[in-house]
């Protein structure tokens, strides 16, 4: 599923630039993705769209504190929760987007979620809202820490 999401991010600049599900399924199949993987990704994206609509309706206060439920802790894992906290403290993941990330991460269902998969989810949340993360956040999402150059 995550490979399909990355492909969509790289090839469609916004969700509304994607063709309808039927045509997109054909395009993804032609590129070589498996039908099950495509359907899982499209279903996940439908959930992302619904979550984005709900986030606009009931936005948590900007100074809210997030308390994770035991199920969320198990599904997300320590490393992913730490990364979400890092993004929040850096001021790039406001509470409504944080909730979207948590919702979509727990929708994956298998835990604990790898940090690489969580980073893809964060990227897809930005993508779904038509927002481009700044260069430093993109670096954090894509470049492995051991590959970073210290100047």
What tens digit of pLDDT does each residue of 30-57 get? 999 999 999 999 999 999 988 887 766 5
Nearest CA-CA partner of 75 in 38, 101, 44, 52: 101
Q: How many domains does the chain have?
A: 1
pLDDT confidence of residue 120:
92
Name which of 19-28, 66-75, 97-106, 130-139 the model is least confident about.
Answer: 130-139
Q: Which domain holds residue 91?
A: 2-147
Q: Identify the pLDDT of residue 70.
A: 92
How far apart CA 119 and CA 138 sit, in angstroms, is 10
What is d(CA 49, CA 129) in angstroms, rounded to the nearest whole number? 9
pLDDT(98) > 80 = yes
Model confidence, pTM: 0.81
pLDDT score recorded for residue 150: 47
| CA pair distance 113, 106, nearest whole angstrom | 9
Tokens encoding 1? 């599923």
pLDDT at 27 over 70: yes
State mean pLDDT over 140-147: 57
pLDDT band at 141 (very low <50, low <70, confident <90, very high): low
């Amino acid at each position: 599923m995550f490979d399909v999401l990355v492909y969509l991010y790289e090839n469609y600049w916004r969700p509304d630039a994607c063709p309808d599900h039927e045509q997109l399924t054909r395009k993804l199949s032609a590129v070589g993705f498996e039908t099950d993987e495509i359907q899982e990704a499209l279903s996940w994206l439908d959930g992302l769209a619904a979550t984005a609509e709900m986030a606009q309706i009931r936005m948590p206060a900007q100074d809210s504190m997030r308390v994770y439920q035991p199920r969320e802790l198990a599904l997300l894992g320590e490393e992913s929760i730490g990364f979400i906290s890092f993004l929040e403290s850096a001021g790039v993941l406001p509470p409504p987007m944080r909730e979207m990330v948590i919702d979509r991460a727990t929708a994956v269902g298998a835990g604990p979620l790898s940090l690489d998969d969580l980073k893809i989810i964060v990227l897809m949340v930005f993508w779904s809202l038509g927002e481009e993360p700044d260069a430093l956040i993109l670096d954090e999402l894509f470049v492995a820490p051991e590959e970073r150059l210290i100047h």
